[in-house]
Amino acid sequence: MPTPCYLRTYKEGGFAAKLARAYELLAPCVACPRRCQVDRLHDQRSVCRTGRWAKVDCAFPHHGEEDCLRGWNGSGTIFFSFCNLRCVFCQNFSISQLGSGTERTPAELARMMLRLQEHGCHNINFVTPEHVVPQIVEALPLAIEQGLRLPLVYNTSAYDDLESLRLMEGVIDIYMPDFKVWDAETARRLLKARDYPEVARAAIKEMHRQVGDLRISDEGLATRGVLVRHLVMPNDLAGTRQIMRFLAREVSPDSYVNVMGQYRPAWKAARYPEINCPTLPEETQRALDIAEEEGISRVDQRLCRLRY
């Protein structure tokens, strides 16, 4: 397994500048596209409802992620509480919207990473990190000094600020963004963020600039690059064709994509008739066909096997 890029950044003394910039992003807070400008260093809170410390719901070896992440010992997931989006169909709403969990200091967050490494996990998988990038940067040197050596996965909605992503350059080896919806009005209605599509396009391009196409080792494990997740929505509300075309033409024809057919109504979806139903198998099949038609040839193999 290649050496994670953050070890080189640490050895070269790059974390001092990153940490200084991380504090600047928190006060006034511009860590995510909401740019609320509250003083989170003094525990003020706004849209993400997170103050000085990151809140964590759980941390465990996850065996339900993509094969190239979970391997045989699991992906070491750390689920951060709250979110900067308000997706009305969120299946993890108890964490992202209700905020279950406990605030963790940088030292506690570092210990979580090390415990996952001790369990034999193949990577550390930060889930919903968009609003806590500064806190991650603060905790990492402590973990590195105590022996952290696993690659880092940035598992995000793609509603990320470019400044925060640039802070992660030389830190993150594997970016795993969603691309949820293409249309701004759909994003306003279902995600409560009209600018989501343009933010996601810019964010995914920046991620690819940093780490390139997904690389997978001879053992079948992701080592570096971008893995895009796309959830198929009922009635093609996600805009699958436009998203696949963007990935193939404006990011890379070798983009690795997980076309996900697991949508089911959750959270507040019953209030929105157009999404108050599960995705049909033929809708998922159509999304796979569209990905191929638009030039995406690297589709996650677990779903491909389900086609036959």
Q: What pLDDT does 275 receive? A: 98
The backbone torsions φ and ψ at residue 104, rounded to the nearest 5 degrees and listed phi first, read: -125, 135
Greatest pairwise CA separation for the chain in angstroms = 55
Query: Above 60 in pLDDT, residue 307?
Result: no
Q: What is the mean pLDDT of the chain?
A: 97
Q: What pLDDT does 305 receive? A: 46
* CA–CA gap between residue 117 and residue 77 (Å, rounded): 11
pLDDT band at 2 (very low <50, low <70, confident <90, very high): confident
Q: If you average pLDDT over residues 198-217, what whole number do you get?
A: 98
State whether residue 2 is helix, strand or coil. Answer: coil
Tokens of 180: 């949820």
* CA–CA gap between residue 216 and residue 156 (Å, rounded): 20
Does the model's pTM come out above 0.85?
yes
pLDDT digits (tens, 9 = 90+) for 104-148: 999 999 999 999 999 999 999 999 999 999 999 999 999 999 999
Query: Above 50 in pLDDT, residue 230?
Result: yes
For residue 214, with 0-12 CB atoms within 10 Å meaning exposed, 13-18 middle and 19 or more buried, which class applies? Answer: buried
Q: If you average pLDDT over residues 264-273, what whole number do you get?
A: 98
**Are the C-beta atoms of residues 149 and 106 closer than 8 Å to each other?**
no
Give first-to-last CA distance, the chain, whole Å: 33
Q: What pLDDT does 306 receive? A: 44
**Are the C-beta atoms of residues 153 and 176 closer than 8 Å to each other?**
yes
* CA–CA gap between residue 116 and residue 103 (Å, rounded): 18
Query: Above 70 in pLDDT, residue 308?
Result: no
Quickly count: other Cβ atoms within 10 Å of residue 199's Cβ: 20
pLDDT digits (tens, 9 = 90+) for 41-88: 999 999 999 999 999 999 999 999 999 999 999 999 999 999 999 999
What number of H helices and E strands is found in the chain? Answer: 12, 10
pLDDT band at 6 (very low <50, low <70, confident <90, very high): very high
Query: Above 60 in pLDDT, residue 299?
Result: yes
**Are the C-beta atoms of residues 73 and 120 closer than 8 Å to each other?**
yes
Task: Name the residue range of residue 85's domain.
Answer: 5-44+53-306
Q: How many domains does the chain have?
A: 1
Place of tokens 């806190």: 135
pLDDT digits (tens, 9 = 90+) for 28-46: 999 999 999 999 999 999 9
Q: What pLDDT does 303 receive? A: 56
Q: What pLDDT does 268 receive? A: 98
| Rounded percentage of the chain residues whose pLDDT exceeds 70 | 98
Q: Domain of 279: which CATH number?
A: 3.20.20.70
Query: Above 90 in pLDDT, residue 304?
Result: no
